[in-house]
Amino acid sequence: MSSLNWFKPGNSKHAAWLKQYLTKNYPEINRDLRNKLLTGKSYCSHFKCSIKIYWKDENLRKVNLAKLRNAWDKAKSRQDKNLKSLSIELNIETKKAFSDLAIFHKKTHEELLTNLIECFNLQMGKTDFFETAEKRSDRACEIKSQKDEIMNLQQMLINKDQEIELLKVQLSEKQELNNDLEEPNKVEVSKASMKDEIRELIKKNNPF
């Protein structure tokens, strides 16, 4: 197929896929579109309108458009294999509120439901709601490792506190020892001072 009639710029799946496809296979086209500050629908619309500019040769254009369609068909096939239908019963008010919410945010029912689940998981503190047994095991090991590290840090803190207390005791003992060594010197200074005072009194009372 050598046209892009099947491609709908307003389709969010088409838009997301095209950007990835061009980035990987035609980076120069992607750069041109990005330099024009185009995103989403405008990005896709401009590409669709400019294929004759990007691929001037008609034969090359047909080949590239065929590759583009084949790549999309393969991607869609992979997506469809991972999709399962969901049928639920809702009361009229809830169904209308859900549809209005999808219209307001310009999303399909599938996209809106997916986003609501993701938001719920984030609020519950879970980034991967459907964890495999292997992931749960890995997360449990990580939590245990973090707890062990916290306990080791706490023990290190206790040891440091004990070291500080020991240093305080040693400092106090040294201060007391210094005080004991200084006391005799103070007594000797005091005695010498008293002797000087007595000599002065003797001189005053005995001028000859």
Domain segments of the chain: what residues? 12-81, 142-208
pLDDT for 190 equals: 60
pLDDT for 129 equals 47
Cβ(113)–Cβ(88) below 8 Å: no
pTM, full prediction: 0.39
Whether pLDDT at 172 is above 50: yes
CA distance 61 to 51: 8
**Smallest Cα–Cα separation from 24: which of 99, 94, 75?**
75
Distance CA(19)–CA(152), nearest Å, equals: 49
Model pLDDT, residue 41:
84
Whether residue 182 is predicted with pLDDT greater than 80 in this model: the reply is no
Element (H, E) at 91: none
What residues contact 117, with CB distance under 8 A and at least 6 apart? 129
pLDDT tens digits along 121-161: 766 655 454 555 566 677 777 888 888 888 888 888 898 88
Share of the chain above pLDDT 90, in %: 8
Q: What average pLDDT is seen over the chain?
A: 79
The span from the CA of 18 to the CA of 26, in Å, is 11
Q: Which pLDDT does position 2 carry in this prediction?
A: 58
Q: How many residues does the chain have?
A: 208
